């Protein structure tokens, strides 16, 4: 297993430890407090949730605009943007790093994506790799490249307070129908050590004669919590589970300067703890117990080791999502 921080940095960390250690202790107090808060709120939200009326769709089609793995000729990135189309319309889910990196612009142009074709934009959660880059995250403003802005403002469904210039921001506070026959689980919470208290919404759709399709952005609340909420919203069987699950077990994506940032700040654990194969095994067992027919995995936040384990151990037909590919459910 590789070092999460290159030994080159160790002398720097040793010198800075009188500052870093107290800072980590303070962060840990906030982390533990937020962990209790998130667990209590999720229990309350799930217990209050009831059946959600969703239209029966003839089909759901996903075209991947941004992902880590790609088809030939497309640019990969450690973020996601998914374009969902149904017989009732279409909706964009997340925008990767938006205008700050080339993947979204390049791949959208290559796929002929037209922002005026979609009924709405939905943001899974307010992290840089989903809402348009670090400037977007710091400012609390969803940022879409100028050339991908719709001519008329469209709804932008967000799970926490944020702005979205050129769109009509709509705060999602509970499970609801969004657009194109696709619903939201409503926000579900997670305490992340570095990023703090985080709200994330997953998407949910009902396909005629097949069952439910569930897609996450990062799956920060954990797929266990997401699927528990889905079970309260519908008693139909799971057909597809897809999206990010956040398992950088042996390494992360988008490493810089000898630092595997995802394995340190993207695990939901304190940085001195690692996400493990045991953690992954529990998630595999949960997915198997809910018996989806198909699983579509994101590689943007999950290492190849974890992807390989899931492909081997999940009982469902399992595929890795690729930018430039289209999947029909």
Q: What is the pLDDT of residues 284-306, one digit of tens each?
A: 999 999 999 999 999 999 999 99
- The answer, yes or no, to whether residue 256 has pLDDT greater than 90, is no
Dig out the tokens for 237 from the structure: 């069987």
Residue 33 to residue 197: CA distance in whole angstroms: 10
Least confident of 118-132, 212-226, 251-265, 284-298: 251-265
Contact 186, 174 (CB under 8 A): yes
Residue 36: per-residue pLDDT: 96
Contact 201, 39 (CB under 8 A): no
| Averaged confidence pLDDT in the chain | 96
Contact 177, 54 (CB under 8 A): yes
Contact 265, 195 (CB under 8 A): yes
Residue with tokens 């279409």: 90
Average pLDDT over residues 147-152: 94
CATH architecture for the domain at 7-48+56-328: 4-Layer Sandwich (3.60)
b/e map 36-71, b = 16+ CB within 10 Å = eebeeebeebbeebeebebbebeebebbbbbbbbbe
- The answer, yes or no, to whether residue 165 has pLDDT greater than 70, is yes
Residue 217 to residue 316: CA distance in whole angstroms: 20
Closest CA to 94 of 86, 109, 84: 84
Return the domain boundaries, the chain: 7-48+56-328
Residue 227 to residue 10: CA distance in whole angstroms: 41
pLDDT band at 46 (very low <50, low <70, confident <90, very high): very high
- The answer, yes or no, to whether residue 267 has pLDDT greater than 90, is no
Residue 265: per-residue pLDDT: 85
Closest CA to 262 of 278, 246, 279: 246
Residue 179: per-residue pLDDT: 98
pLDDT band at 328 (very low <50, low <70, confident <90, very high): very high
Average pLDDT over residues 97-118: 96
Task: Tell me, rounded to whole angstroms, the distance of Cα 292 from its chain centroid.
Answer: 19
Dig out the tokens for 255 from the structure: 């490493």
Q: Supply angle C-alpha 136, 320, 185, rounded to 5.
A: 55
- The answer, yes or no, to whether residue 176 has pLDDT greater than 90, is yes
Residue 1: per-residue pLDDT: 52
Angle subtended by helix axes 277-290 and 304-313, to nearest 10: 40
Rounded to a whole number, what is the distance in angstroms from the first to the last CA of the chain? 37
Q: What is the pLDDT of residues 119-129, one digit of tens each?
A: 999 999 999 99
Residue 255 to residue 233: CA distance in whole angstroms: 38
Least confident of 31-40, 182-191, 231-240, 258-267: 258-267
Residues 6+ apart with CB under 8 A from 4: 259, 260, 263, 264, 274
Q: What percent of the chain is modeled with pLDDT above 70?
A: 100
Contact 222, 178 (CB under 8 A): no
Coil, strand, or helix at residue 169?
Answer: strand
- The answer, yes or no, to whether residue 240 has pLDDT greater than 70, is yes
- pTM to 2 decimals? 0.96
Coil, strand, or helix at residue 76?
Answer: coil
């Amino acid at each position: 297993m590789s070092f999460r921080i290159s030994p080159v940095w160790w002398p720097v960390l040793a010198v800075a430890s009188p500052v870093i250690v107290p800072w980590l202790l303070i962060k840990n107090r906030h982390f533990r407090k937020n962990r209790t808060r998130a667990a209590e709120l999720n229990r309350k939200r799930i217990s209050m949730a009831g059946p959600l009326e969703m239209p029966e769709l003839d089909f759901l089609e996903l075209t991947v605009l941004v992902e880590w793995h790609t088809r030939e000729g497309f640019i990969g990135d450690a973020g996601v943007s998914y374009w969902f189309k149904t017989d009732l319309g279409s909706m964009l889910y997340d925008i990767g790093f938006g205008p700050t990196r080339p993947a979204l612009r390049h791949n959208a142009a290559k796929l002929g994506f037209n922002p005026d074709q979609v009924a709405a934009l939905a943001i899974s959660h307010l992290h840089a790799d989903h809402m348009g880059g670090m400037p977007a995250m710091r400012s609390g403003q969803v940022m879409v490249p100028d050339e991908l802005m719709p001519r008329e403002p469209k709804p932008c469904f967000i799970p926490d307070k944020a702005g979205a210039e050129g769109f009509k921001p709509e705060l999602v506070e509970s499970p609801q129908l969004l657009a194109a026959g696709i619903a939201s689980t409503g926000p579900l919470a997670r305490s992340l050590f570095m990023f703090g208290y985080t709200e994330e919404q997953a998407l949910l759709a009902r396909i005629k004669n097949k069952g439910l399709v569930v897609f996450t952005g990062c799956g920060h609340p954990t797929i266990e919590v997401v699927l528990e909420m889905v079970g309260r919203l519908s008693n139909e069987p799971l057909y597809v589970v897809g999206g990010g699950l956040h398992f950088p077990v042996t390494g992360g994506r988008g490493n810089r300067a000898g630092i595997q940032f995802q394995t340190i700040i993207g695990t939901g654990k304190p940085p001195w703890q690692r996400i493990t194969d045991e953690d992954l095994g529990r998630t595999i067992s949960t997915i198997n117990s809910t018996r989806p027919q198909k699983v579509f995995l994101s590689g943007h936040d999950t290492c190849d080791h974890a992807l390989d384990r899931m492909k081997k151990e999940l009982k469902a037909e399992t595929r890795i999502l690729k930018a430039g590919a289209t999947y029909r459910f």
